[in-house]
């Protein structure tokens, strides 16, 4: 089985410390999931794999591209929970439930290829394959812990703290070391960034402008560079959680 692990590389250049994270390989044996997959499909961006409320009969294994997992509140505001990339699974919350419906939305951010696995097939396989069941349980445990830490930040640190937390998580998921800091190599509008932390576009714009004035960040062509990551950590009393739990994925 593949092991769930993060490799963290610390690079020092000219006295500046930069952090580079290598994304972990999925803990679940990908070959096993592909073996029981019903089919694979390719889909263009700006489409949904599924939407909340739809009858749930399938799980999706992302083979390439990016898929945004989000929740729409009763007021119509969108809260983005994570971004699924290569070897990530979405739609898993419907397993072992009667008359299941998707609880979240899966929106294609980049043209992607996904393997589709029938819900009843993977349930049967989990019952019969102890190794797969064990790895799936480990993955679900890590997934729930990651979600809990995100909601902790949203609830306890306020809107500004939630934004800072989101920026920290993005450096762990998409950070690229640069001579002047860490580039978040993912184009983001203020609205999209606000969706990650339940904050309006206007509030997000105001907080980002404050950070730019203080030299904490800069933004070029929609991509954010973090010049002082420790400032963000100090502002939210960062607990230095393992990076596997402090990410957007």
Radius of gyration of the chain (CA): 19
Q: Is 172 exposed, middle or buried (0-12, 13-18, 19+ CB in 10 A)?
A: buried
Provide the Cα torsion 185, 198, 141, 24; round to 10°: 0
pLDDT per position in the chain (249 positions), as tens? 333 333 333 344 333 444 444 344 455 667 778 888 999 999 999 999 999 999 999 999 999 999 999 988 777 778 888 888 888 889 988 888 888 999 999 999 999 999 999 999 999 998 998 888 888 888 888 878 877 777 777 777 788 888 998 999 899 888 999 999 999 998 888 888 888 887 888 999 999 999 999 999 999 988 999 999 999 999 888 877 777 777 777
Q: What is the model's pLDDT at position 18?
A: 43
What number of CA atoms fall less than 13 Å from residue 65's CA on the CB side?
A: 24
Q: What is the model's pLDDT at position 8?
A: 38
Q: What is the model's pLDDT at position 144?
A: 80
Q: What is the model's pLDDT at position 27?
A: 53
* Three-state secondary structure string covering the chain: CCCCCCEEEEEEECCEEEEEEECCCCCCCHHHHHHHCCEEEEECCCCEEECCCCECCEEEEEEECCEEEEEECCCCCEEEEEEECCCCEECHHHCCCCCCECCCEEEECCCEEEEEEEHHHHHHHHHHCHHHHHHHHHHHHHHHHHHHHHHHHHHHCHHHHHHHHHHHHHHHHHEEEECCEEEECCCCCHHHHHHHHCCCHHHHHHHHHHHHHCCCEEEECCEEEECCHHHHHHHCCCCCCCCCCCCCC
Q: What is the model's pLDDT at position 1?
A: 33
Tokens of 174: 């998409």
Q: What is the model's pLDDT at position 214?
A: 95
């Amino acid at each position: 089985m593949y092991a769930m692990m993060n490799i963290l590389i610390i690079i020092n250049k000219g006295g500046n410390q930069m952090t580079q994270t290598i994304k972990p390989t999925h803990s679940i044996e990908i070959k096993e999931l592909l073996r029981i997959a019903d089919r694979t499909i390719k889909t263009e961006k700006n489409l949904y794999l599924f939407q909340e409320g739809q009858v749930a009969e399938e799980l999706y294994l992302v083979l390439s591209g990016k898929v945004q997992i989000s929740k729409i509140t009763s007021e119509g505001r969108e809260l983005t929970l994570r971004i699924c990339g290569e070897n990530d699974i979405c739609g898993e919350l419907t397993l072992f439930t009667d008359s299941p419906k998707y609880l979240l939305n899966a929106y294609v951010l980049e043209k992607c290829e996904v393997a589709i696995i029938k819900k009843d097939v993977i349930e049967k396989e989990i019952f019969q394959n102890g190794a797969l069941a064990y790895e799936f349980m480990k993955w679900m445990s890590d997934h729930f812990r990651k979600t809990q830490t995100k909601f902790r930040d949203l609830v306890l640190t306020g809107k500004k703290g939630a934004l800072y937390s989101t920026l920290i998580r993005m450096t762990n998921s998409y950070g690229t070391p640069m001579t002047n800091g860490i580039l978040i190599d993912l184009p983001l509008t203020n609205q999209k960034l606000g969706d990650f932390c339940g904050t309006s576009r206007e509030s997000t714009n105001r907080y980002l402008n404050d950070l730019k004035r203080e030299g904490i960040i800069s933004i070029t062509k929609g991509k954010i560079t973090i010049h002082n990551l420790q400032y963000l950590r100090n502002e939210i009393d960062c607990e230095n959680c393992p990076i596997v739990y402090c990410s957007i994925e």
